[in-house]
C-alpha cells in the first residue's frame, strides 16, 4: 500500500490506545518500570551504617539486615531516663511509690548520724561536753532566733567514781531570759552530782551544768528542739 493511500486520524488512534496498557509496550531507556528488585537495590544504596550499626543486603534472598553492636559502646551523652521506657522490674522513683512502700512495710531505722529534721517543725539531735570544775560548764546551747525551746535529757557520768545521773527538763525563752522546768533526776551514789540552770548569752540559750566536785565528768545531751 502506498503511503499516500494510508489514512490514520487522531480519534482512531485514541480508540486503539484505550485498549492498551504498559504491558503492551517495551521498556525504554530512562522511564523504567517498577520492580521489587529495583526498590531493593535503591534502598540498599540509600542506607548506610552508622556508629555501631552494620547493614547487610542479601540480593539473592532480597533481604536487608541491620545489626547493632555495643562492642565499642553506645554514645548516650544526649540521652537520659526520659528517653527510656520504664520496665517491669527496674521501676522509676515516684513519691507515690515511696508513700505506698512505707504504708505497706514496717520501716526500722537502725542508726541516725547527725540531726534528724522532721517536717521543718522540730529536730532531734545529740551532743556531748566534758568538764572538771564546779564553776559551771556549758553542756548545750542553741540560737534563740532559730528555736523556741525544747526538751532535753542529759546523762552525767563521773569518770572517776563511775557514778551516773540522768536529768530531764524543758526550756523556753522570750529572747531576754531563758526558763527551765526540771521533770526528774535519778542518780547512783549518795547524792545528786550536778545541778542545771539556763541563761541567754549573746544570741544563744545555754544550759549550764554545775558539779559538786572537780572530777572529770562527761555530759551526753539528747535534745528535741522546736523551730521558731
Paired with 67 in beta bridges are 54
Model confidence at 1, pLDDT cuts 50, 70, 90, reads very low
Instruction: Please give the Cα distance from 222 to 38 (Å, whole number).
Output: 84
Model confidence pLDDT, tens digit, residues 43-52: 878 777 777 7
What pLDDT score was predicted for residue 53? 78
Q: Is the pLDDT of residue 67 over 70?
A: yes
What pLDDT score was predicted for residue 191? 94
Cell numbers describing residue 163: 557514778
Which H helix or E strand runs over 102? helix 95-104
- Class of residue 193 by CB neighbours under 10 A (exposed 0-12, middle 13-18, buried 19+): buried
> Counting every residue, how long is the chain?
228
What pLDDT score was predicted for residue 85? 92
For domain 116-227, the CATH superfamily is 4-oxalocrotonate tautomerase-like (2.60.40.1680)
Q: Is the pLDDT of residue 2 over 70?
A: no
pTM of the model: 0.55
Model confidence pLDDT, tens digit, residues 139-184: 999 999 999 999 999 999 999 999 999 999 999 999 999 999 999 9
Please enumerate in sequence order all residues whose Cβ is within 8 A of that of 198, keeping only pairs 6 or more positions apart, or say none.
171, 178, 179, 180, 205, 206, 207, 208
Domain map of the chain by residue range? 36-69, 116-227
Amino acid at each position: 500500500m502506498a503511503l499516500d493511500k494510508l489514512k490514520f486520524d487522531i480519534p482512531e488512534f485514541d480508540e486503539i490506545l484505550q485498549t492498551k496498557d504498559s504491558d503492551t509496550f517495551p521498556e525504554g531507556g530512562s522511564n523504567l518500570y517498577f520492580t521489587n528488585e529495583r526498590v531493593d537495590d535503591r534502598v540498599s544504596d540509600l542506607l548506610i551504617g552508622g556508629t555501631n550499626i552494620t547493614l547487610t543486603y542479601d540480593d539473592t534472598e532480597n533481604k536487608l539486615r541491620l545489626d547493632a553492636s555495643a562492642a565499642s559502646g553506645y554514645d548516650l551523652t544526649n540521652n537520659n531516663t526520659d528517653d527510656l521506657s520504664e520496665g517491669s522490674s527496674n521501676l522509676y522513683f515516684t513519691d507515690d511509690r515511696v508513700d505506698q512502700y512505707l504504708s505497706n512495710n514496717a520501716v526500722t531505722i537502725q542508726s541516725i548520724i547527725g540531726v534528724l529534721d522532721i517536717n521543718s517543725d522540730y529536730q532531734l539531735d545529740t551532743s556531748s561536753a566534758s568538764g572538771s570544775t564546779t564553776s559551771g560548764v556549758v553542756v548545750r546551747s542553741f540560737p534563740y532566733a532559730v528555736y523556741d525551746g525544747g526538751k532535753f535529757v542529759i546523762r552525767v557520768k563521773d569518770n572517776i567514781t563511775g557514778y551516773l545521773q540522768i536529768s530531764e527538763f524543758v526550756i523556753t525563752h522570750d529572747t531576754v531570759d531563758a526558763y527551765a522546768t526540771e521533770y526528774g533526776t535519778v542518780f547512783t551514789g549518795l547524792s545528786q552530782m550536778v545541778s542545771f540552770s539556763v541563761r541567754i548569752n549573746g544570741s544563744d540559750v545555754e544550759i549550764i551544768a554545775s558539779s559538786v566536785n572537780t572530777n572529770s565528768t562527761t555530759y551526753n545531751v539528747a535534745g528535741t528542739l522546736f523551730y521558731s
